[in-house]
Amino acid sequence: MPRPLSLYDTWERRLRPFIPLAPGGPVGLYTCGPTVYDYQHIGNFRTFLFEDVLKRVLRWNGHRVNHVMNITDVGHLTSDADEGEDKMEKGSRRTGKTAWEVAAYFTDAFLADMKRLNVEDPTVLCKATDHIAEQIAFIADIERNGYAYTTSDGVYFDTSKLDDYGYLARLDVEGLEAGRRVELGEKRRATDFALWKFSPRGEARQMEWDSPWGRGFPGWHIECSAMAQKYLGDYFDIHCGGEDHIPVHHTNEIAQTEGRLADHPEIAHDHRRLANFWMHGYFLLANDAKMAKSAGEFLRISSLSDRGYDPIAYRFLCLTAHYRSQLNFTWEALDAAATGLERMRQGFHALPDAGAAPDAAYVDRFTDEINDDLNLPRALALAWEVLRGDLAPAVKRATLARFDEVFGLGLAAWTPKAVDVPPGIRVIADARYAARTAKQWAEADRLRAQLQAAGWEMEDRADGYSLKRGQEKHA
């Protein structure tokens, strides 16, 4: 019998057996989505890829998954401490478009990149701006229970009302209090956070709504609590995000839920932390430092494809590291992943598709690895073992196709033509092919050198040529 699924729960700081709250029912999964004032960087996508793999592993274990993801299109301020400008309004000023146009543009860009990475669509994709009424109702419940207070610039959550505020992050609330007293303003406690912000007086905002407290816009954390509750109920199976969400965003989502449910003594305290499992993907680093949108220069999925990499090579790279360890991005690591992916694709396609069944022993070993808190690096090692081992070729293919339900590399659908060759490279390659056909050897050699300098190897074939990535050294 293969090992049953266990997952690391940040709340309890340990691996726990995963048992769905509703036996047989769909697993409720909420993942914090993108803030759409700019492109998502490849670090953001590491988290979305981890969540995609989690979903696939749940399905591997026979669960249906009801996956809800939000789009943050309002309310995320430039500082997590409720200070600074709204990121959407700032994006609008930067681009000269309306905040609504900015949100629509970057939402589309995000979804297109998710497709290029073979990330499956969520069951429900919900925008914060489509759920203002739900957020207002949620805040009203918190206020009625006495967990909110109003200042001159907004409605704040009173964290002193909760004995275990910050438990998810094991926050040292008193230490934070002592350290940040000067910046408090009208907030009563350093950890208190905005539920609703009033539109600044005399300033026209593009995104603002009427509320019982005054015209303004919701705080960033309330949208996730309100939409999770609407689509998944008061208490659901798994809530995910990147590790940066542990101390602030998720801590506050939990606090809001506790505040809203305070007048429901029939609900056990344990069931007021919104989700049964809290899971977090660790960061992608660049040059051993945090990759952040605010840092200006950042890598997007098209930064990779512009350099000739298939976005799936990035997916492959992410599979080589456990989601609970940080991963340092380098071009060398991406090269290695691209090579690994290419070998796996070629190896797979060299095997006959003869309708064989997967090898049961390998499938069980695979289950052992992925059910051990998604150990994809070891699952990937098992795939190499299958490819290089001595199973019958058709059985190898069937086994790898089954593994790929979790990897999501799209092995079976891949065709050699799908390699992403930038148009500029294609032009040089065509010119070289023409030169070679015309026996202009010097010109052909010159063009080959040009391709090599750009990181491409051209191989001559009787009936044409093929291109593959070479050993370019990136700066």
Residue from 138, 147, 278, 283 touching ligand AMP (CB under 6 A): that is 283
In terms of CB distance, is 47 or 66 closer to ligand AMP? 47
**Which listed residue (27, 28, 39, 47) binds ligand AMP by CB under 6 A?**
47
Q: Which residues pair with 154 in a beta bridge?
A: 197
Nearest-approach distance from CB 297 to ligand AMP, in angstroms: 14
| Binding of residue 135 to ligand AMP (CB under 6 A) | no
Please choose which of Zn ion, ligand AMP, none residue 46 contacts, taking the beta carbon within 5 to 8 angstroms, the exact cut-off set by kind.
Answer: ligand AMP
CB atoms within 10 A of CB 298: 18
In the complex, least distance from residue 32 CB atom to Zn ion, rounded to whole angstroms: 3
Euclidean distance between CA atoms 258 and 192, whole angstroms: 14
Element (H, E) at 289: strand 289-290
Residue 224's binding partner, choosing from Zn ion, ligand AMP, none, with beta-carbon cut-off 5 to 8 A by kind? Zn ion
Burial class (CB in 10 A: 0-12, 13-18, 19+), 354: exposed
Instruction: Give dist(CA 171, CA 191) in Å, integer.
Output: 10
Contact 301, 117 (CB under 8 A): yes
For 238, phi and psi rounded to 5 degrees? -140, 135
In the range 49-88, which residues lie near ligand AMP by CB under 6 A? Answer: 72
Strands (E) in 151-245, as ranges, are 154-157, 193-198, 216-218, 236-242
In the complex, the smallest distance separating the C-beta of residue 362 from ligand AMP, rounded to whole angstroms, is 31
Could you please report the per-residue DSSP string of 62-123? T--EEEEEEEB-S--BSSTTS-S-BHHHHHHHHHTS-HHHHHHHHHHHHHHHHHHTTPPPPS
Identify the residue among 226, 284, 317, 363 touching ligand AMP (CB under 6 A): 284
Smallest separation, CB 65 to ligand AMP (Å): 18
Based on CB atoms, which residue is closest to Zn ion, 208 or 253? 253
DSSP state of 298: -
Question: Does 224 interact with Zn ion (rule: CB under 5 A)?
Answer: yes
Question: Which of the listed partners (ligand AMP, Zn ion, none) does 34 bind, with a CB threshold of 5 to 8 Å by partner kind?
Answer: ligand AMP
**CA–CA distances in Å: residue 57 to residues 119, 123, 179, 192, 379:** 13, 16, 42, 37, 12
CB of 232 to ligand AMP, least distance (A): 17
- Integer Cα distance of 213 and 198 in angstroms: 8
CB 242 → ligand AMP: shortest distance, Å?
A: 2
Q: Which residue has the tokens 């050294």?
A: 473
Q: How far is the CB of 36 from ligand AMP (least distance, A)?
A: 8
List all residues 6 or more positions away from 67 whose beta carbon is below 8 Å from its beta carbon: 29, 30, 31, 55, 122, 123, 124
Question: Under a CB-based contact definition with an 8 Å cutoff, are residues 386 and 399 in contact?
Answer: yes
C-alpha to C-alpha distance for 29 and 296, rounded to whole angstroms: 32
Placement of tokens 């991963």 in the chain = 327
The contact pattern for ligand AMP, residues 371-400, with x = CB under 6 A and - = no contact, is ------------------------------
Shortest reach from residue 435's CB to ligand AMP, in Å: 45
| Binding track over 153-192 against ligand AMP, x by CB under 6 A | ----------------------------------------
> What radius of gyration, in Å, describes the C-alpha atoms of the chain?
25
Mask 30-49, x = binds Zn ion (CB under 5 A)? --x-----------------
Q: Which is nearer to ligand AMP, 44 or 229 (CB)?
A: 44
Give the residue from 151, 162, 299, 156 showing the smallest Cα distance to 218.
156
The widest CA-to-CA distance across the chain, in whole angstroms, is: 86
Tell whether residue 91 is a contact of ligand AMP (CB under 6 A): no
Q: Is 46 a residue that touches ligand AMP (CB under 6 A)? A: yes
**Contact status: 291 vs ligand AMP (CB under 6 A):** yes
- Residue number with CB closer to ligand AMP (248 or 351): 248
Q: Closest CB to ligand AMP among 148 and 334?
A: 334
Interface pick for ligand AMP out of 5, 7, 32, 400 (rule CB under 6 A): 32
Residue among 279 and 312 whose Cβ is closer to ligand AMP: 279
Q: Which residue of the chain is nearest ligand AMP when measured via CB?
A: 242
Out of Zn ion, ligand AMP, none, what residue 10 binds, judged by CB under 5 to 8 A for its kind, is: none
Report how far residue 123's alpha carbon sits from residue 126's, in angstroms, rounded to the nearest whole number. 10
- Cβ-contact 191, 176 below 8 angstroms: yes
Q: What are phi and psi of 275, to 5 degrees?
A: -135, 150
Neighbours of 68 (CB within 10 A): 22
Quick check: 77 binds Zn ion (CB under 5 A)? no
- Min dist CB 318 to ligand AMP, Å, is 10
Sites for ligand AMP among residues 231-250 (CB under 6 A)? 241-242, 244-245
Q: Which residues make up the interface to ligand AMP (CB under 6 A)?
A: 32, 34-35, 43-44, 46-47, 72, 241-242, 244-245, 281, 283-284, 290-291
Q: Which residues make up the interface to Zn ion (CB under 5 A)?
A: 32, 224
